[in-house]
Structure formats: C-alpha cells, structure tokens
Chain A
C-alpha cells in the first residue's frame, strides 16, 4: 500500500432509527416497474404539439422571416415569432456583472427576431394538431440571413477589433481575489511552477430530454407540467409572457436527470407562450438532437497557474488567471465564474493569492450550469498543478498536499473561515488504499495510480439569502405527509425528506408520503441545484417535523404524566423511555391532539446564513455556507502504442457529514464519479465555428457500463455539516475530483502529464512523442 491510512478523529454520532439506513427509496418501485410518470408521458384532450424553429447560422442578421405559409398550413394552430412577443425576454442579472443596468443586451430574447448569435437559437414557435404537421410547418418557414462576422474563441473575442456578440463588449463577467502579497509570496518561494490547463465543454446527456405540457386552467392560470430543476421560474416566465406571477402554475414532474441542464428555463417558456396564444393544451418534447442544440453546456476554460513553493512543498504564492467561454448569452456564466474563481486555489492554505477571472461572449453554444458549477474546471487545474509541483520538487504528491491541506479554522482565499471538518488526507489515503497494490506494467502497457482532492461548496451563495420551506403533517391514521416544492432529479431529494420526517416522528418510512414540486400547491423550497436540497429543505423538514413532534410530546407528556424529556416516539408509538412498555399509539395520540384543537402540521422556513456580497476589488468575504471535502483515486493502464487508457480501479472517499440514505449517497458518489471520468477521458463536444459536430449520442460518447470499473464508494461521516444531523452535500462534489484523479494516474504511468481533457488516445500519443 502506497500510503498509511490516516486515522479518523473520534466522532460520536447518535445512532438513529431511519436516518443513515440504506432503505429503499420511496420512488424506487415506481421507476423499477415503469409506473413513474415523466413529463413526456402526459397528454391532454385537444392537445397541440409544439416545435421550435432554430437558427442555422452562428452569427447573422435576419433579413427576412416569412411564416405566412406555415401559418396557412391546415392543422397549424399558431406560429409565433419574436415580432409577436417583443417583450418576451429571459432576465439575466447578477448585480455588478450583468443585467440591463450593467450591460445592455444581457437578457436572452425568447425568440430572436433581428439577429442570431448562436447556431440553434430559437426564432419561431409552431403549435399544430399533430407532430407531423408541426414538422411540416417548420419546413415552410422562410428565412434569409446576412452572415455577420462571428467570434469563436474567447481569447480572440477579448482582442480589440473582435466582433462584438452583444454591445458594449465581449466581457460578460469578471471576478478577482486579492489576498496577501504576490511580491512577498513569490519572494519566499524556492521554486516557481507555471502551467496552462485547458478544460472542455461537457454535455449533460440526461436520459430524459426536455419535455412538458402546458394548458390554461379554469382560473385562467397558465399551468405547465414540466421536467425542471427550478419551479420558481414561474416568476420569470410570468414577466416574459406578460401575466401576473400568480397566473403561472408550474407542476414539476419527476426529473429524468438534470445535472444543471434543467436549471435554466428550457421548454416551459415556449409552452407558456403557445398555450397562451392558442388557449389549448400544448405538448413539447425535444428529440435528443434538439436537446443537444437547445440547452447549455459546461463552460470550457483556459486556466493558468503560477505557484511559488518552498522546497518542502509549502505554497507561498498562487497567481491564477482564468478565462471561460460564455457562448452567445450570459445565462449563469457570472455565477459559474465566481465559483471557479473562489475554488481556484484548491483546498489549500495559501497566504498570498491572486485570481483574475473573465467570462467572455462568443458565438459558440451558450454555457451555464453543470453539476459542479465551475468547481470541476478549477479542480482539474489545481490538482494537476499540485502534481507538477510534486514532480518538480521530487516529492510525493500526497506529501506536497499534506503540507498545504486546509484545516478546520483555516481561511479560504476569500477569507472565509472553515468551521466544519476538512478530512482531506483522511479521504485521500483511504481512496488510494482502496486501490490496493499497483498492477505491474506489461508489454507496452504502463500502469499508474493517482488521486485528486477537492473542496466544493454546498448551498447557494450566502449573499443570495437562500431559504427553503417544508410542510409536515401527521394524519389521523398515524401516517405522515410532507409538502415541499423540491424537484426530485432522481438523486433522492424527496426520499431524504421522507427519511428525516420518519426519524423525527418515529414512523416507518413507508408511512410517509411526500408531495413535491408544485409552484402553487407545495411550499416553495427553492431550486434543486447547488447541492442545496438536503441542506436547505432537509433542515426545513427537520424543523417542521420537530415542531409537530413537540406538539405530540406535549400531549403525550400529559397522558403519561411524565416530563417531555422522558418520552420518545418510535415505530408509530410514543413511549416512556424508562419503561418502554408504557406506550401510546400515534393514531390515538393524533386523535387526542385533533379533538383538542392542537396543530398537527407545521410549515417551517429554513434560512441559510445571510451575508453581504464579497468585496468586488479583493473578493474578500463569505461566499457559501460550507464545503464538502474528499478525494478520488484511480489506477489506469495506458497502452503506449495506441494511446488507449483503461481504468482498472477507482475509488472515491468523501466526508458527507452524515449519510441520510446510505444507498442513495453511494449512488451519487458512483454516478458523479462516472460522469467525471467520462469528462476526463471520453466526452468530446467538437464545435467548429459555433456548430456542434457531435450533436447526438452516437457522436458525443458518454461512458457505458462496459467502460469503467465499479467505483468503490467510501463514505466518511464527520457529523460536522450544516445539513440535518450534521450532513454535508454530495450531489456535485461527487463529480469534481474524478477527471483530475485519472489525469494524475495517467501522468504517473507515463511520466508526462497532459494538461488538457478529455485525455483521448491521440493526446496520449502526442504527449509521448514530445522530446
């Protein structure tokens, strides 16, 4: 074994009855037998079928748009262009960065009418009696373009005289961090290491393409049943469609994978417009190819690291520059850039840090949220940089990291004090130990092992003042109902809330039913993004369930003539802890409470820490509530003659604070790890002059079950997270360290590192060919 496994500090987590158990998720059976109804499965009487007409140019002026033939086609209910809905814009505003005050044209027009800025930009909407008629109508739309000069490389786009995608210039966002002094930091250094890293696009490739149905209900509200990560978009949609906010009703469905790709508004805006214009139900389901064209991608980055280190590996200065390609519209680019900026130095204690980050507009596919939200790009760069530092100093990669790993009580580059456990060496040594002895080289095949550590926020930016609500009620038959607007992406968001309520109210999990994802009927819980639902809605559910429990215990205390502290609830009964034979069934207790007018339900609001924005000049201040820490390790076999890389073993170790459902947490760790391995080795979105050359799943390859070995998931529980029962978040963190770990393993095998992913066979051979 390469490393001594670092012992864990003593942690005494209370034994719980439901939380932490690998129970079958409440949504599992429906999926297993096909009962789960996804957005594309719904239909309605008199339903029309919607289609989007899209740009075939990356940068052009529309000189003529004639939809008259499409409108005249029998069976076409309506054709909408940007001229019909001039005010339909999706607002993009990060104070100080985007927004109409800062940059005219930050907003995204729902339909382009004068100019198109990317290939696939929506220009018109069609609703027709059948899909075939809708398709035919698309082919009857006549359009003439006058090509405009386009810009397809963010570095080119920053140069004077480059074509401007949207005035005033191509700079969409900027962040900087200034901590300590570059001058003294580099002066203290024994060695300065410089590298440039290139990180590519990534496509979400969820199983379920965007889908939904919209109609106008009997109260005149536009109701949209849609697969989304964010039901709160009803507000933006109301503004774009021109109705009041309480006249848009979003009914989210079980989501067949989101990964950030259903974080921005997708088809729901088109459905709303078409339903409003036709006053009939309208359905829209993207094909896979349209899904590729229509939604954002992960941001490509160029990241430069210049690091000063002492001979023992201690970092004295870190100067980082990063440029991301925002594509044609800002969407969430300023936010993603902030994440990359703040995470840029990695989970290391560095006194002197300077980061300069810019997001640049181009005529490429637009980029926005993707699992990790800028964190994986930062992690690839800082972990490759750490490996190179180790190589140049002749030190072991773990030894270099150990000197610098953040400890509890240390500050991040923005001066945020970390209060939770930072089990970096603990996770790195366990992940590496799980690989076991290294397989020997054979023939032209070289074997290598490597790992990467990371930190990744969970919860939203603290100056966004995030809140979540959940309602929990006990029914008269002893069952529990939860109402929370949480979208379930398949990651177990809803199930976790059920396990929490079951724990607190002392009922078996199967007695809990949850109603989710309805913007009008369930309390708003916020977005299923930013690894925030367990933290935010888990806490809201914990609060609401605890409030109901307190009502029950109060009444039970009268019944037993005992203090509340002497009582507990489990297995559907309240009981006396010192004499468990004294029990009161929850059904009877609920009836007592009801007949005495006691409140058997509770609506709770959980607030994350609220802070002021960071200082825009120095980046100093708190950015997130807390971080998850962990490591990923891989063993690879590299064929030095063909460049092919085979992953032989993989292991991920994360401190997730506390597992609420152990099986679901392992699922996240393995699934996120696979997505990260694909990002590192295989997934290759080829874009030429703004056109995606790999626009389907037969061209843009994602891993199959044959490609990678099982990832050993090692869960550590420090109990120090801000979530319920000490939980941290794992949804996004699971992906972040996988690509850099596999890159480290390849570098370990070959003795040369490849600073650019995906590490394709050709890049391996090119690296080996270097003198």
Chain B
C-alpha cells in the first residue's frame, strides 16, 4: 500500500536542482516513473518527495559535440531508437532500446532512469559500458563526469548523491574501423527482463589487429560489468575463431550469476560463452 508522498513539478532545471538540494535524501528525481511508480504501488519505495523531471526539455535530446555523442538524461528509450546519431554511431544501444520492455514503457522510460535504477538487468547498461560511456551528475553546487562503470556500484546502488540528478550520458564517437553487436536472451521476444544480455564493440587497426574492445554483460552479476580479462586476451591480435572462443570463455568465467525465476546460474554462464562468441564473430564479420 502506498503512503502519502509529495510530488513537485519544477518549471525548469534550475528549479529542479533547487528542490533536490532542499530535500536532500528525502527527494527523489522522477523521470519516466516506470520503475518508481511500480515500486511505490508495491510499497517497496520509501521516498517522501518526488521531483518530476519528465517534462524538462533541458534534459532531452541527442547531439554530437567534441567527438562525443551526448544523450540528455531525460531522453526516452523510444527516442534512442529513432535518432539518426544513435543509429549511425551506437547501433548496439539502438538494438538494446528496441528490445527494451514494450512500446508503452519505452515511450516513458529514460536513459538516465534506467541507469540510476541500477538493476543488474538494466537494458541500456551493457551497450553503454561497451561504448565507454560516462555520465554527468549535476547538483545545484556542482557538475561531475563519472565513468558509467564506476557509477553503478552494486545491485540498485550508484554514486548518485542526494541533491543530484543525471543530466547527460556521453560516449566517444567510435572510429570507422569499429563494429559492435548486441543480444538479449529473454524468456520471450518482447517485454521480458533479461536472462542475460551482452554487448561487444571491437576496433581494428589498419593491419587488422584488435586495437580496442568493449565486452559488457548484463544480468549475470550484481551489476552490469566489462569483461576485461576477455578484452585483454584480444588486444593486438587477429580475431580468429579460436581466440574468440577463448575470450568468450573468459567472459563467462568472469560472470557471477545467480539462480532466479528466469534461469539458473549454470545456464547463464553457459549461454554467456555462446553469446559473446557469436557477438564477437558477428562484429568481426562486419569489419571484413
């Protein structure tokens, strides 16, 4: 049962930051509400005041600046799907957005909301991790950039401080010699929470050797994470089938999944290896 809460609807960003500063730990930023409202109804959220950001245009939009794609925190998942910059430079994020929940939820849910919620299964996290994304946290007093992989610290835990909101997310524009691939394994083809998800990015140098990689996994550990051991194995090498298989095995080894209603830990580990292998193979194919 839900207790009484206060809902504020600030006129602009400055007012939102003032409200968040005034309420401190008692104030929770509200974007699409697709997590918070459900939790409130179930009595799982104990906030006293909500500060509604969903109508603030300052938080919306996607553009290219100084070698980065910058995504406003309040950008909806639907907007990710439709935006040409995402299609051109962050295909794996677009793919994750396409498989995110259902159209009704995608129309309301925001990128910042998905990241701040910090579910182990957050759909936008693996592609953004693979793309080396950073997040911009803003309070009345200051603004700071943090690497996404540092921002999420555990199950539903982040570095977001009272008084802060996530203003933007940015990712360096990948080079022309890079390619990515994404897959979400769910128990149905739409509106499903991940059993596991994986995103990979690879960049080759002119000699065809691996210059840079990003292998990120979701729903197989307390937080979405980068499989660095697997990435290190690939660095500076030709990405052949055996190497890819070994990297995929390392990625599976790095995952620490649990048994839950969607699948067992053993299944997840096994399918991480399959999925990462396939995604790396697919990305290499694209660059051939």
CB-CB nearest in chain B for A642: B271
Are A707 and B267 in touch, CB under 8 angstroms?
Answer: no
Are A762 and B190 in touch, CB under 8 angstroms?
Answer: no
Question: What CA separation (Å) do A771 and B189 show in the bound complex?
Answer: 31
Are A703 and B188 in touch, CB under 8 angstroms?
Answer: yes
A136 on the B face (CB < 8 A): yes
Known: A701-B187, A704-B188, A704-B191. A693 touches B261 (CB 8 A): yes
| Chain A positions 123-164 with a Cβ under 8 Å from a chain B Cβ | 132, 135-136, 139
CB of B109, distance to nearest CB on chain A (Å): 14
A1 on the B face (CB < 8 A): no
Q: In the complex, which residues of chain A have a beta carbon less than 8 angstroms from the beta carbon of B274?
A: 641-642
**In the complex, which of the residues B189, B193, B267 contacts A698, with contact meaning CB atoms closer than 8 Å?**
B193
Known: A642-B274, A644-B185, A699-B261. A765 touches B192 (CB 8 A): no
Q: In the complex, which residues of chain A have a beta carbon less than 8 angstroms from the beta carbon of B192?
A: 701
B33 on the A face (CB < 8 A): no
CB-CB nearest in chain A for B101: A698
CB of A242, distance to nearest CB on chain B (Å): 33
| Chain A positions 644-680 with a Cβ under 8 Å from a chain B Cβ | 644
> How many chain-A residues does the 8 Å CB contact rule pick out?
25
**In the complex, which of the residues A139, A682, A693, A762 contacts B267, with contact meaning CB atoms closer than 8 Å?**
A762
CB of B268, distance to nearest CB on chain A (Å): 10
CB-CB nearest in chain B for A769: B270
Question: What CA separation (Å) do A388 and B111 show in the bound complex?
Answer: 51
B78 on the A face (CB < 8 A): no
Are B1 and A762 in touch, CB under 8 angstroms?
Answer: no
Q: In the complex, which residues of chain B have a beta carbon less than 8 angstroms from the beta carbon of A762?
A: 263-264, 267
Question: What CA separation (Å) do A703 and B270 show in the bound complex?
Answer: 25
Are B1 and A686 in touch, CB under 8 angstroms?
Answer: no
Chain B 255-288 near chain A by CB (<8 Å), digits 1 or 0:
0000001011001001100110000000000000
Known: A139-B1, A686-B261, A693-B261. A765 touches B267 (CB 8 A): yes
A710 on the B face (CB < 8 A): no
Are A682 and B1 in touch, CB under 8 angstroms?
Answer: no
Are A704 and B190 in touch, CB under 8 angstroms?
Answer: yes
Are A694 and B261 in touch, CB under 8 angstroms?
Answer: yes
Q: In the complex, which residues of chain A have a beta carbon less than 8 angstroms from the beta carbon of B1?
A: 132, 135-136, 139
Question: What CA separation (Å) do A316 and B9 show in the bound complex?
Answer: 76
CB of A35, distance to nearest CB on chain B (Å): 23
CB of B245, distance to nearest CB on chain A (Å): 12
CB of A220, distance to nearest CB on chain B (Å): 36
CB of B65, distance to nearest CB on chain A (Å): 36
CB of B22, distance to nearest CB on chain A (Å): 28
Known: A642-B274, A762-B263. A706 touches B187 (CB 8 A): no
Question: What CA separation (Å) do A703 and B188 show in the bound complex?
Answer: 7
A467 on the B face (CB < 8 A): no
Question: What CA separation (Å) do A643 and B271 show in the bound complex?
Answer: 9
Are B261 and A642 in touch, CB under 8 angstroms?
Answer: no
CB-CB nearest in chain A for B41: A287
Chain A 613-648 near chain B by CB (<8 Å), digits 1 or 0:
000000000000000000000000000011110000
Question: What CA separation (Å) do A735 and B131 show in the bound complex?
Answer: 46
Question: What CA separation (Å) do A698 and B191 show in the bound complex?
Answer: 8
Question: What CA separation (Å) do A644 and B189 show in the bound complex?
Answer: 11
Are B189 and A706 in touch, CB under 8 angstroms?
Answer: yes
Q: In the complex, which residues of chain A have a beta carbon less than 8 angstroms from the beta carbon of B185?
A: 642, 644, 761
Chain B 31-51 near chain A by CB (<8 Å), digits 1 or 0:
000000000000000000000
Known: A136-B1, A704-B190, A707-B189. A765 touches B270 (CB 8 A): yes
Q: In the complex, which residues of chain A have a beta carbon less than 8 angstroms from the beta carbon of B102?
A: 704
CB-CB nearest in chain A for B195: A761
CB of A205, distance to nearest CB on chain B (Å): 13
A753 on the B face (CB < 8 A): no
Q: In the complex, which residues of chain B have a beta carbon less than 8 angstroms from the beta carbon of A557?
A: none
Q: In the complex, which residues of chain B have a beta carbon less than 8 angstroms from the beta carbon of A698?
A: 193
| Chain B positions 174-192 with a Cβ under 8 Å from a chain A Cβ | 185, 187-192
Q: In the complex, which residues of chain B have a beta carbon less than 8 angstroms from the beta carbon of A765?
A: 267, 270
Q: In the complex, which residues of chain A have a beta carbon less than 8 angstroms from the beta carbon of B261?
A: 684, 686, 693-694, 699
Q: In the complex, which residues of chain A have a beta carbon less than 8 angstroms from the beta carbon of B275?
A: 642
A554 on the B face (CB < 8 A): no
| Chain A positions 175-218 with a Cβ under 8 Å from a chain B Cβ | none
CB-CB nearest in chain A for B4: A132
| Chain A positions 754-771 with a Cβ under 8 Å from a chain B Cβ | 760-762, 765
Known: A135-B1, A139-B1, A762-B264. A706 touches B190 (CB 8 A): yes
Q: Using a CB–CB distance below 8 Å, which chain A residues touch chain B?
A: 132, 135-136, 139, 641-644, 682, 684, 686, 693-694, 698-699, 701, 703-707, 760-762, 765
Given contacts A643-B271, A682-B188, A705-B190, 5 further A-B contacts (CB under 8 A): A641-B271, A682-B187, A686-B261, A698-B193, A704-B102
Q: Closest 10 A-B residue pairs measured CB to CB?
A: A706-B190, A706-B189, A641-B274, A704-B190, A135-B1, A707-B189, A762-B267, A642-B271, A701-B188, A707-B188
Q: List 23 A-B contacts (CB under 8 A).
A: A139-B1, A641-B271, A642-B271, A642-B275, A644-B185, A684-B187, A684-B261, A686-B261, A693-B261, A694-B261, A699-B261, A701-B188, A701-B192, A704-B189, A705-B190, A707-B188, A707-B190, A761-B185, A761-B187, A761-B195, A761-B263, A762-B263, A765-B270
